[in-house]
Structure 1
């Protein structure tokens, strides 16, 4: 399990590797462009070369790119869908340049005034299919959502539907977020309940499509449909749930990204990463003792 954090790519992707190392990360996640703007950020050959050189001498083993939150592949507005498609293509091509584990995408949302979820899933799937056809080999990982405001991906069935509509190719996968799972009604508070959730994901989507994870505790309760992160062990999922998530055998080898807020409330620091690794160690010891 490659535990890491979301870090800033300011100054180029090689700088993000250095920030990951400073924090003790074994994986990192970055935005490939300013998350508040549509303007694309295309990496130069020099930036790409510097990134790969930084990775060679680093303890950071994998990179995940997070597509910016402005994207709504399910929008009924053709202009928003076109902008989302263009931005997603740029992100996927950046992922190919940097040999990322994948690009994580919030697929979009149905209209808040009662738009059809079924039609929204179809629109999102079609945009995703086109983005894959017009980009390089980087995988695209659809993130499950907390379910607020008509967001798509609140259930494994919705993820499976979008994957199917988008063509079902090998580049399509999923990223599961512990906070989102919990907020959308999947109980991950114990080892036993997490096992059942992972079993269900395998049945509906398939574990072979699981490419990355986000590990965040939840400020709000089970099924709240509210996406509110808190530090690991400080929320409604709790310490036991975080220990279970960070030691789940079927998550081994995957990047597991802590997104914050971090103990300082400003950014993720080495102490936050050390705590995540400590929780994992406790979980591994508990599983060994129970074996």
Structure 2
């Protein structure tokens, strides 16, 4: 018989790749989480996790168990929600910045849909300022986006440095005008990088403007120019260009912004999912965008 408490610890370790982080998010002692894993392994007669001082990763048997463990835990939560009169339900309109659509977003949405089947989740992806305008018009209940340091809109989750990225930094830096790969206005990232270049007196030209991060990434990987992204979101295959080769960029903050008319129970449940997933850091690096 599989123990749901043990499975919960196993899934959190798999998600965070850390016994320490898993214990923090489950509000348990690290030794308790370790005991849960050991008992689960003994009960199954299989080793589920390889761990050393630097790395925690699932074994082949651990990878095989993970989807079943998630499904069992989701069924437990769904059963509890079925008899909870205050459980989230009804339409929920969520907007997210284009920067954040890869990484852990698919898993976040999958978990939320599985846990709250009575919620009708509606997703919008756009630039941060566009999402803010949609929310002001009453079109979105919750927005996850970027803001400039010092702005007050939203509840900050974490602060991230913006960095310059290119597939071949030496080649793009050798050009007489820096070739830029950017989102169109009203992109905050575009605004901050251009302000930095103007302050520094660096000549530039736009070689690619695209609404889609995947399109910008493709152009950067092809060597067309430089792309600016939060460091934790830097696509694979690109190298960071550090000052003084190019001017330092401002940090940005990722925030959750709730509409006054939004259902409190639904927003609270989704916000909890975000914080459980990302904790003190996003770990959002994506390899295929």
TM over 0.5: no
Structure with more strand by fraction: 2
- TM-score normalised by the shorter chain: which range applies? under 0.3
| Structure index of larger Rg | 2
TM-score (norm 2): 0.24
